[in-house]
Chain A
């Protein structure tokens, strides 16, 4: 409050100069990437979102997930219903910002990591997002919701669904950087450091071959979802460096010493290529 009063007084006293000084005081930053900042309004060159002058408060918005029918069965259709609440008063949030061309991104991963889905529940007139899904087998699934309540900050919220009728084994992942056929191109991976370790930046460089015809998918050159083998850590990110050429770089901080399955998606000539790599992250020493 004191700072605002001081600026108003200075503006009255010195007119135009202080208007410029005040403008320079304001920092506009990308809601998704806090490293992208400017002293003038604009658009983030990385994700295309409008820069905001608002200092984001790190508040978590609760997400409810209701599954119908309650007694789920593998192989049968189920409806997933997502409702986002205001953490201050529990009221339903009905207004969201578009991020990467959608209001809500959903990822579904099975405990044994053989099932991966990236799709987009649709917002109904009642303010809830819905998606019809058939779970392929019994067991545990982790559901990740990526959404941006209007006036707040981007949110990544995780839920768990247990499909009755059996269980899945946790996967025993080992290092696998072998080149993948994503559909209509091969995708290869190199990490720096070659052996990632937790808590520090891992540069993940992907090379696409052939690369002619690469297109943005949902407004980004690539999408990544990395999950620890115990499905506790879920990382959702986009390229740090990408220009439509054959190489793209993601910067990832793996939190713990586990093996992570890293799914990536790139689009070429209308086809979404999906591939995964298994990346062991080990403690130093």
Chain B
């Protein structure tokens, strides 16, 4: 039997048993999650800013671009090498958080393990636009931390920025305030120097004079970023009856 009739015969048998073949001849599809309906939405939020035509790395914006990389994508996100965020969720709260949630991990892994099907074009959302963004710069008033640092003045903390940190560093930075409370600031994990981005708090945190910033290991340098605009203009949850 030639290859083409054999393939057609196999597809007929597969349809008979309710199993469908993906574009890849060897895939058996065991998931209802598809690229066009679910995965592209995730990629649009977490990946396409870099992984697109005109971006900084190879594109993943369409099924034909992403499918060959499906297994690699699952491995990269499970080990948290991608997206390039480098901090543990829930230790500090960041408005520029690029990390994936557990549900998002599971969606991508389920898709890949289930044969990575394409789906239906009608489900594809509008492609996002990416305006030009300026490269972030270290502010002149940043406070450099080497080891533990006790603040001599109060600062409204807007974020933290690893300046010199070994690849795959794993450490927690906390702030021990004069009232005895301890604020978790940042837990770097699997951080890599090329990430090069600050971690910007969702809500500025007032650190009074006398606060002890702890956790930066010997040989590492992290910068504290003070707020450069008034706190009420930043991303703070607005409550129904809050009085400014």
Contacts and interface: CB of A to CB of B under 8 A. Distances in A.
Is A bound to B?
A: yes
Interface of A: 3, 25, 27, 29, 34-35, 37, 55-60, 62, 64, 70-72, 83, 85, 90-92, 94, 126-127, 140, 142-143, 153-164, 198-201, 232-236, 253, 255-256
Nearest to A144: B90
B184 A92 contact: no
Contacts of A90: 235-238
Contacts of B110: 34-35, 253
Nearest to B30: A35
Contacts of A35: 31-33, 110
Interface of B: 31-33, 37-38, 41-42, 45, 74-75, 78-80, 88-91, 93, 97, 101-107, 109-110, 113, 122-123, 125, 174, 176-177, 179-184, 187, 189, 202-203, 235-241
Given A58-B104, A154-B103, A160-B90, 18 more contacts: A34-B32, A35-B32, A35-B33, A58-B38, A64-B237, A72-B181, A83-B239, A92-B237, A126-B240, A143-B90, A157-B101, A160-B184, A161-B184, A162-B183, A164-B181, A198-B78, A200-B113, A255-B105
Given A34-B107, A126-B240, A255-B78, A62 B202 contact: yes
Contact of B180 (A57, A71, A140, A256): A71
B221 to A, nearest CB: 23
A29 B37 CA distance: 12
B90 A85 contact: no
B184 A162 contact: yes
B180 to A, nearest CB: 4
22 contacts: A3-B122, A25-B122, A29-B32, A35-B33, A58-B38, A58-B104, A62-B93, A62-B202, A64-B237, A71-B180, A72-B181, A83-B237, A92-B238, A94-B240, A127-B240, A157-B90, A160-B91, A198-B78, A201-B113, A253-B110, A255-B78, A255-B80
Given A92-B240, A199-B74, A156 B182 contact: no
A253 B90 contact: no
A90 B242 CA distance: 13
A158 B90 contact: yes
Contacts, number: 121
B182 A37 contact: no
A253 B114 CA distance: 13
Q: B38, B103, B122, B179 — which one has the most chain A CB atoms within 10 A of its CB?
A: B103
A71 B181 contact: yes
A284 to B, nearest CB: 12
Contact of B102 (A57, A161, A198, A234): A234
B237 A58 contact: no
A126 B189 CA distance: 36
B196 to A, nearest CB: 22
B144 to A, nearest CB: 24
Contacts of A255: 78-80, 105
Contacts of A126: 239-241
A29 to B, nearest CB: 8
B93 A64 contact: yes
Given A157-B90, A234-B102, A253 B109 contact: yes
Q: B89, B236, B240 — which one has the most chain A CB atoms within 10 A of its CB?
A: B89
Nearest to B37: A55
Contacts of B89: 158
Given A85-B237, A201-B113, A60 B101 contact: yes
